[in-house]
Amino acid sequence: MLGFRSQRLTFIVATALLAAVVSIAVVGGFFEPFNVTYDHRALIIGGKRRMLISAGVHYPRATPEMWPGIILKCKEGGADVIQTYVFWNGHEPVRGQYYFEGRYDLVKFVKLVGSSGLYFHLRIGPYACAEWNFGGFPVWLRDIHGIEFRTNNGPFKVLLFIGNSLL
């Protein structure tokens, strides 16, 4: 059986690969490449100063069939960006078993956002401040010996260090 570090590393690598695939799909299929800079007043995207309006949509709170309508309503309401957390507890409900289907099909969600012409902001966490059970942490994480969440705690810092160094 893999140790905690090895399993966490596997999850981080899988998430990084997913992000790379999503980036390729979005840039390759839906967006033209663009440069983003900042002039201390606004973002400059593709040479144009922009003030972006963001809409938070938590993909697992709705079915995939509902996503196109939700995204369209956000766009009609003036949003330029859809943002969401990655909900770790949904993507790794059992230690070492990863799930990216149904309500947790992040690639499908990102492609829908991109095809609508909106930008996408991925909030990778690990904590999801979204009135989500256990802050998005998988419940099995509480069984890690010595862990204390969201503190200057050794086991928790190891988790964060591994995640931040790879992403």
Specify the DSSP class assigned to residue 143: G
Residue 156 belongs to some domain of the structure: no
pLDDT band at 153, cuts 50/70/90?
confident
Confidence of residue 43 (pLDDT cuts 50, 70, 90): confident
Question: Residue 28's pLDDT band (boundaries 50, 70, 90)?
Answer: very low
Q: How many domains are there within the chain? A: 1
Give me the torsion for CA of 63, 68, 73, 75, rounded to 10°: 130
- Give a yes or no: residue 163 inside a domain: no
Provide the residue range defining the domain that includes 9: 4-148
**pLDDT at position 1:** 43
What would the pLDDT profile of 118-127 be if each residue is shown by its tens digit?
999 999 877 8
CATH number, domain of 117, equals 3.20.20.80
Q: Is the pLDDT of residue 3 over 60?
A: no
According to DSSP, the β-strands at 54-56 and 81-85 are parallel
**164 assigned to some structural domain:** no
